[in-house]
Amino acid sequence: LLATRQIETSKVIKEKKADLGVSFDGDGDRCFFFDNQSEFVPACYITALLAEYLLKKNPESKKVILDSRLIWATQEKVEQAGGKLIVMKAGHSFFKDRMRKEDALFAGETSGHFFFRDYYYADSGLLPFLLMLELLSQDQRPFSQILAPLRQRHPVILETNFSINDTEKLLKIVEGEYGDGEIDHLDGINAAFKDWRFNLRGSHNEPLVRLNVEAIDKDVLEKKKAELISFIQKQGGKLET
């Protein structure tokens, strides 16, 4: 997910003039996409597109599961396809368990994990790649044009990490600062406003907090991103690069 690790794939896409690019993590259970213009595609957009596509292919199925970090793009597509979106805490084991309980058709995490009912409710790095090829083969538009409406209506930042000594203290301070929003604690802090929302959560295995922000346009996104980063740094958070 780090921008520094996307450079090589982007370079190859430009050289080969590819219609899309995909990279996999070390054990192959996650995949990450790049469009035909060599731009990285955040997993929230892939979740949105695959949710819509699978719901239309399986009209008898309604449920899609998503973690709470970035939700607006998927929410839009699931509603348009007549599905039901279930938002829950991130985590591999949490997702598998909830998918079985709900008999959910599909699930996506911001981290690039995608889960499928027809794959024993498990995650796969290969299936999203094959499904995206299928989706693109049925649409004459370039990948970047398919993504354009989502990028325009629901711009997001790449997950931003901060090292911090006391995660719980920081979360309480941030909640106090942004308490006029619609707050929930499904996974860290989710704060939603009319034109933007954010999730701030502690890492499960590192002394880090992770920030995700989405908004209705890029101007609002950049403004709120800068505001939050500055505020977190003033509370002792060190921006990880």
- Residues 19-69 pLDDT 10s: 999 999 988 899 999 999 999 999 999 999 999 999 999 999 999 999 999
Please state which architecture CATH assigns to domain 160-239: 2-Layer Sandwich (3.30)
What was the pLDDT predicted at 1?
Answer: 60
Reduced to 3 states (helix: H, G, I; strand: E, B; else coil), residue 220 is helix
What pTM was computed for the model? 0.96
pLDDT above 70 for 2: no
pLDDT above 90 for 231: yes
pLDDT above 90 for 107: yes
- Mean pLDDT computed over 109-138: 97
Q: For residue range 162-220, what is the model confidence (pLDDT) as tens digits?
A: 999 999 999 999 999 999 999 999 999 999 999 999 999 999 888 999 999 999 999 99
Question: How would residue 5 be classed by pLDDT, with cut points 50, 70 and 90?
Answer: confident
Query: Which residues have C-beta within 8 Å of that of residue 124, sequence separation ≥ 6?
Result: 29, 114, 115, 116
Instruction: Say how far apart CA 188 and CA 194 lie, in whole Å.
Output: 20
All CATH 3.30.310.50 domain ranges of the chain, comma separated, are 160-239
Q: What is the DSSP letter of 119?
A: G
All CATH 3.40.120.10 domain ranges of the chain, comma separated, are 3-153
On the 0-12 / 13-18 / 19+ scale of CB atoms within 10 A, 143 is: buried
Domain 3-153, CATH class in plain words: alpha beta
Percent of the chain at pLDDT > 90 equals: 92
